[in-house]
A = this chain, B = another copy of it.
C-alpha cells in the first residue's frame, strides 16, 4: 500500500457531526481530505435523494453506508409490512447513492412485550424477506448487532455471533454484518468471531466505550482512544477477516456534537491514523 493515503479508507458517519447538514458534512469531508461519508436517511430526505446523489458524486465522495433500515420487530403484521416497505425505500436510496451497505438496526421489543426470543425471530424473518430485494438492487444488508444496553428499545440482535447466525442462512452478497466496536468490544471471543465472519463483514464502524457513562447512556460513545476499546486487536481481526471496505467513525456523544465539526473531523482523523490505520495492512 506504499503511497496510499493513510486516510484512503476513512469515512465520516454523518451522525458524528450531527449538527452539520448533509451539505456541510460533504464539504467537511472534502476539506479534511476524507474520501467517503456514511449518510443517514433523514438528512438525505431533507434535500431530496437526487440532490444528495449529485452532491456526493460532484464532491468525489464514496458513500460507505446508508443508515438506517431495520426496525422490523413489531408484533403487529401490518407494522411489519410497513417496515418492509420502508426498507425497500431505504434500499432504493442506498442503490441510488452507490452505497454498498444498508445498515439494519433491528428494533426493540414492542411496548409491553417481553418475548425477546420471538422478537429476534421476527428480525431474522424480516432480514430474509429483504435479502433478495437487496440483491436485485446491488446493495447489501448489514445486520448491526447492538450493545445489550439497547436490547430492549432499539436492537434485539446483541452479539456478532447472533448476527452471523441470521446472516448465514442467506447469500453472502445480499446479507452481511456490521462490526461496530462500541457495540461489540465486550463480546467473548469477538476476535475469533470477526475472523469467522470473513466476507460477511459489510461495514466496520468505530467508537469507543467510555466510563463513567454519561447521564444519557445512549450517547455514551467516545472518540477512538478515549475509552476502553482495544482498537489495535479489533482492527487486526477485521483486516485478517479480509475486509477491504471503508472504516466509518460513528460517535453519538453530546460533547462531540457540541464541538465545531471541523475540530471533530480533525480529531477523529488523528485518532484513526494513530490507532486504527496501522493495523489495516
A148 partner, pick from B162, B186, B229, beta carbons under 8 A: B186
A230 partner, pick from B116, B158, B161, B228, beta carbons under 8 A: B116
Q: Please indicate the chain B residues that have their CB under 8 angstroms from the CB of A117 in the complex.
A: 191, 233
Interface positions of A from 95 to 119, Cβ below 8 Å from B? 109, 114-117
Number of copies: 2
Q: Is A152 an interface residue (CB 8 A)?
A: yes
For the A-B complex with A149-B213, A152-B209, A159-B188 known, give 4 more contacts whose Cβ atoms are closer than 8 Å: A114-B229, A115-B230, A215-B215, A215-B216
User: A211–B147 contact, CB under 8 A?
Assistant: no
Rank and list the top 4 A-B pairs by shortest CB-CB distance, nearest first.
A151-B186, A215-B215, A114-B230, A148-B186
User: A227–B188 contact, CB under 8 A?
Assistant: no
Q: Nearest B residue to A183 by beta-carbon distance?
A: B148
User: B228–A109 contact, CB under 8 A?
Assistant: yes
Listed A/B pairs (25) with beta-carbon separation below 8 Å: A109-B228, A114-B228, A114-B229, A114-B230, A115-B230, A116-B185, A116-B186, A116-B230, A117-B233, A148-B149, A148-B186, A149-B213, A149-B217, A151-B186, A151-B228, A152-B186, A152-B209, A152-B227, A153-B211, A158-B188, A159-B188, A161-B188, A215-B215, A215-B216, A217-B217
Q: Is A270 an interface residue (CB 8 A)?
A: no
Q: Is A274 an interface residue (CB 8 A)?
A: no
A interface list, Cβ under 8 A from B: 109, 114-117, 120, 147-149, 151-153, 158-159, 161-162, 185-188, 191, 209, 211-213, 215-218, 227-230, 233
User: A228–B152 contact, CB under 8 A?
Assistant: yes
What separation, in Å, do the CA atoms of A230 and B211 have in the docked complex? Answer: 29
What separation, in Å, do the CA atoms of A117 and B114 have in the docked complex? Answer: 32
Q: Nearest B residue to A158 by beta-carbon distance?
A: B186
A58 to chain B, nearest CB (A): 41
A185 to chain B, nearest CB (A): 7
Among A147, A161, A215, A217: residue with most chain B CB under 10 A: A217
A211 to chain B, nearest CB (A): 5
